[in-house]
Amino acid sequence: MTRVRPTWPDLPNHIQTAIEDRLGAKVTSWVSHDGGYSPGLASVLTTERGQVFVKTASPDQTEALRLHRKEAAKAALLPGTLPSPAFLWSLEVPDDGAAASAFSPDGDDDDADAPTWAVLAFEPVHGRAVRTDPWDLDDVDLLARLALQIGEHPAPDGDVFPDAAEKARTEAQALADERPQGLATYDPWFAEHLDLIAQVAAPERQAEASGGDRLVHADFRADNVLILGPDDSPRGVVVDWPHAARGAAFLDLVGMLPAMHGLGGPSPSEVLDRTPLPVGTDPDAVVTRVAVLAAYFVHGSLQAPPPGIPHLRQFQRVQGEASIAWLRDLMQAG
């Protein structure tokens, strides 16, 4: 589930010019960070003034553009104690070559009615990827601790970070009502228990389970983490914050486990035996959250792929299968 991204020479001349004008120097070399699920440039650019990590989205990359705009608004407000690269600046560059401008600080998607490019710049981080072939248990432990560390931070004030308790997912009820044909490609247990799962994932139960004032990355996975330092004292850095929200402290740790297990890592129970959820976490809240995740990933995997992100549906399927297995274990144990 990787991609080869465009690099600096692939950018239109007026986008290169806008970036170099903002940097105050010419780009002399670049290193692309291939992989991931968004389609745009993601490169460390080198100039005579130093290095910067830059990512872009073009007007035709509509989903990536929307997410980059959201990340620009949120990254500017993240606390400095968070283990994440420092956000430097953002640009909105008209596709017709007109003058670039900074993004709207409120992150309002409707500001980009005319075709524009999104350009975001961050402090470069030179780390390694999480070891996943095979999964390294020390890295697994680091990921789990990192997820909990995010939840130790209060979410910044303001409307930029949505409240997880106020944004109910409806996929479980939609699957129960519609019974799409693709359900037959999943574990039969899921379809047989969909009515009950929809009750477990009902909006009022979601609000109770997910509510809180903690910062939530909301897309926390191994591929959004870089590991720095020597193996005897590593530390993690979390990237890609467009989905960041306000909610319960356990959400990121629970949220990362289906992807980890689906991609060959330890099971959720194995991880949580090593790194427990925050003290006081309600087991019923965990069941509700896993039910929401299972329905979200299954429903998403059955949709057409979004423009420019062809790998997404298969990755959702992998997480859907892992979430169903975990949900089945939790509900049968309860």
300-324: buried (b, 16+ CB within 10 Å) or exposed (e) per residue? bbbeeebebbeebbebbbbbbbbbb
Q: What is the pTM of this model?
A: 0.91
The three-class DSSP label of residue 249 is coil
- Give the residue from 100, 126, 152 where a domain finishes: 126
2 lies in a domain?
no
195 and 119: one domain? no
Taking alpha carbons only, the member of 218, 212, 210, 214 closest to residue 241 is 218
CA distance 35 to 130: 13
Q: What is the CATH number of the domain that holds 196?
A: 3.90.1200
Q: How far apart are the first and last CA of the chain?
A: 35
pLDDT in tens, the chain (334 residues): 445 789 999 999 999 999 999 999 999 999 998 766 678 999 999 999 999 999 999 999 988 999 999 999 999 999 999 999 999 999 999 987 666 677 654 544 444 467 899 999 999 999 999 999 999 999 999 999 999 999 999 999 989 999 999 989 999 999 999 999 999 999 999 999 999 999 999 999 999 999 999 999 999 999 999 999 998 899 999 999 999 999 999 999 999 999 999 999 999 999 999 999 999 999 999 999 999 999 999 999 999 988 777 888 999 999 999 999 999 999 999 7
Q: How far is CA 280 from CA 208, 286, 327, in A?
A: 14, 12, 20
Instruction: Give a yes or no: residue 1 inside a domain.
Output: no
Which of 78, 101, 126 corresponds to the end of one domain?
126
State how far the alpha carbon of 64 is from the alpha carbons of 55, 120, 273, 294, 308, in Å.
10, 12, 36, 24, 8
Range of the domain at 185: 129-333
Q: Is there a single domain that holds both residue 26 and residue 169? A: no
173 belongs to a structural domain: yes
Same-domain pairing of 17 and 156: no
281 and 145 within one domain: yes
Q: Are residues 110 and 141 in the same domain?
A: no
Q: Are 132 and 104 in contact (CB under 8 A)?
A: no
The total number of structural domains that make up the chain: 2
* Token duo for residue 202: 């009902």
Let me know whether 120 and 162 are in one domain: no
Q: Do 26 and 109 belong together in one domain?
A: yes
Mark whether 110 and 148 lie in a shared domain: no
Return the C-alpha torsion angle 90, 95, 101, 107, nearest 10. -60
Q: Does 121 share its domain with 135?
A: no
User: CA-CA distances (angstroms) from residue 146 to 216, 217, 225?
Assistant: 12, 11, 9
